[in-house]
Amino acid sequence: MASPRHFLTLNDFSAGELQALIDRAIEMKTEHRAGTARPLFPGKVMAMIFEKSSTRTRVSFEAGMAQLGGHAMFLSPNDTQLGRGEPVEDSARVISSMVDIVMIRTFGHDIIERFAAASSVPVINALTDDYHPCQLLADMQTYQEHRGSIAGRTVAWVGDGNNMAQSYINAAGQFDFQLRVACPAGYEPASALLDAYADRVQLVEDPREAVAGADLVVTDVWASMGQEEEQKTRERAFAGYQVNAALMAHAAADALYMHCLPAHRGEEISAELMDASDTVIWDEAENRLHAQKALIEALLNAAA
């Protein structure tokens, strides 16, 4: 059997395929709201493996599969053999023999790579320590809906050089924008990634320098899942990296700001921006549903 198509990073799809996914997500959103969407995948089953917490990712994949006419099952390490040391490859072989598509949220990116290599069905990265590509689909959809194509625009990442920042680096290449990353020393994205995208990505320390004239400003929590014990150290390191109205004053006049959520008001983003009536952050969260339905459709059709 040919190996299935996976979505472990944005680079698993071509730029053209990613743009088609965004366009399709917008179409599916319209159909969903109009009540004209059809259940395209009756009987298809998704296994959702969560080794970290989630609200948006779980709800969007589970609701998405139901809306497509299929079913999603939640699997956690607490009540499966995954948490008792069954090898990743054995789990992948068995689970993929019974379902049509798998979604995994885990720690090391190598875990999802190993799972995918042993899986007979498509595997979607629902967040690893290194990447969160599904969130980028929602973010790119949201930008396009509000401002049109992001190609040729400037995006500022302010904060930790984490899984979201690294997915924005991939997105800079795939969606053809310039990215300025403002991080405190010691919290930069992986140097190999920065080197590979040197023509697209500029690393600076001063958030104002990153945001100057930017069309989109993005941030995320200072301590990601798995880094909870570093919270206090990180609060000190990231002081001065809050996205707030004063920082946004340096961006383009019609600049958007985004946050994948969950957010900590008063830390990486001000309460004022979170609670602004014109923020697109809630659209960004909702678009996880539509973008991932487009992704599931593409992967299931490729596997058919």
Residue whose C-alpha is closest to residue 8's, from 304, 303, 299: 299
| Count of positions on this chain that bind ligand NVA (CB under 6 A) | 10
What residue is closest to ligand CP based on CB?
57
Binding to ligand CP, residues 102-141 (CB under 6 A): 127, 135
One residue of 123, 164, 218, 248 binding ligand NVA per CB under 6 A:
164
Q: Which residue, 55 or 231, has its beta carbon nearer to ligand CP?
A: 55
Stretch that binds ligand CP, among 14-22, 25-33, 51-59, 141-149 (CB under 6 A): 51-59
The pair of structure tokens assigned to 108 is 């090391």
Instruction: Establish whether 220 is a catalytic residue.
Output: yes
Task: Say how far apart CA 243 and CA 194 lie, in whole Å.
Answer: 23
Q: Tell me, rounded to whole angstroms, the distance of Cα 148 from its chain centroid.
A: 20
Q: Which candidate in 19, 139, 260, 290 is catalytic? A: 260
Q: Is 265 a catalytic residue?
A: no
Q: Which of 15, 24, 10, 9 is nearest to 301 (CA)?
A: 24
- Looking at 19, 67, 135, 292, which residue is catalytic? 135
Query: Using CB under 6 A, which of the segments 106-114, 160-168, 183-191, 293-301 binds ligand NVA?
Result: 160-168
Pick from 3, 14, 30, 55 the residue near ligand CP by CB under 6 A.
55
Please tell me whether residue 44 binds ligand CP under the rule CB under 6 A.
Answer: no
Q: How many CB atoms lie within 10 A of CB 150?
A: 20
Q: Which of 57, 96, 106, 163 binds ligand CP (CB under 6 A)?
A: 57
Question: Within 10 Å of residue 232's Cβ, how many Cβ atoms?
Answer: 9
Q: Where are the beta strands (DSSP E) in the chain?
A: 45-50, 71-75, 101-105, 123-125, 154-158, 178-182, 201-204, 216-219, 256-259
User: What DSSP line would sit under 5-45, residue for residue?
Assistant: P-BSSGGGS-HHHHHHHHHHHHHHHHHHHHT-----STT-E
Q: Does 56 bind ligand CP (CB under 6 A)?
A: yes
Among 11, 54, 76, 244, binds ligand CP (CB under 6 A): 54
Instruction: Kindly state whether residue 170 participates in binding ligand NVA, applying the rule CB under 6 A.
Output: no
Q: Is 100 a catalytic residue?
A: no
Q: Which residues, including other chains, have CB under 8 Å from residue 238's CB and lie 6 or more apart?
A: 159, 160, 184, 187, 222, 267, 268
Active site residue 135: yes
| Interface with ligand NVA, residue 111, by CB under 6 A | no
Catalytic residue among 220, 234, 259, 292: 220
Is 292 among the residues known to form the active site?
no
134 is catalytic: no
Task: State the minimum distance, in angstroms, from the CB of residue 39 to ligand NVA.
Answer: 29
CA distance 17 to 34: 25
CB of 163 to ligand NVA, least distance (A): 5
- Token pair 């969130």 is at which residue? 135
How far is the C-alpha of 89 from the C-alpha of 269, rounded, in Å? 40
Going 49 to 50 to 55 to 57, the CA torsion angle's sign is negative
Q: Which residues sit at the interface with ligand NVA, rule CB under 6 A?
A: 127, 132, 162-164, 220-221, 224-225, 260
Catalytic amino acids?
A: 105, 132, 135, 220, 260, 288
Q: Which residues sit at the interface with ligand CP, rule CB under 6 A?
A: 54-57, 127, 135, 260-262
